[in-house]
């Protein structure tokens, strides 16, 4: 039972190492090709998308309302 867990752990570790090496190979190859490859920009944009979700929009609205309230308080004083 413990041997199976060790083997599964080793297999997962091996796959993580191989996967990260393949990703790094792709990044370096894309950079050396020049402007012909835009997948790095696409990858960067895909990581930025969660920030542009509905929670990000609601936080922007909240910031604007706070600024309006602070502006009104400063105008009254």
pLDDT computed for residue 36 by the predictor:
54
Q: With respect to residue 4, please indicate whether it lies within any of the assigned structural domains.
A: yes
pLDDT computed for residue 10 by the predictor:
94
Confirm if 58 and 45 have CB atoms less than 8 A apart.
no
Q: With respect to residue 44, please indicate whether it lies within any of the assigned structural domains.
A: no
Identify the domain containing residue 33 by its residue range: 1-37
Q: For 19-77, how does the pLDDT look when each residue is reduced to its tens digit (9 = 90+)?
A: 999 999 887 777 766 655 576 677 777 676 655 566 677 788 888 999 999 888 887 76
pTM above threshold 0.85: no
User: How far is C-alpha 49 from the geometric centre of its chain's CA atoms?
Assistant: 8
Count the domains in the chain: 1
Q: With respect to residue 63, please indicate whether it lies within any of the assigned structural domains.
A: no
**Measured between alpha carbons, how far is 59 from 54 in angstroms, rounded to an integer?**
9
Q: With respect to residue 50, please indicate whether it lies within any of the assigned structural domains.
A: no
Q: What contacts 31, CB < 8 A, 6 or more positions away?
A: 40
Structure tokens at 36: 């012909």
């Amino acid at each position: 039972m413990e041997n199976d867990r060790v083997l599964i752990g080793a297999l997962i570790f091996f796959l993580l190492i191989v996967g990260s090496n393949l990703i790094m190979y792709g990044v370096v190859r894309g950079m050396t090709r020049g402007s012909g490859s835009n997948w790095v920009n696409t990858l960067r944009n895909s990581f930025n998308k969660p920030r542009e979700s509905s929670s990000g929009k609601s936080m922007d609205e909240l910031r604007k309302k706070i600024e309006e309230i602070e502006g009104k308080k400063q105008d009254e004083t």
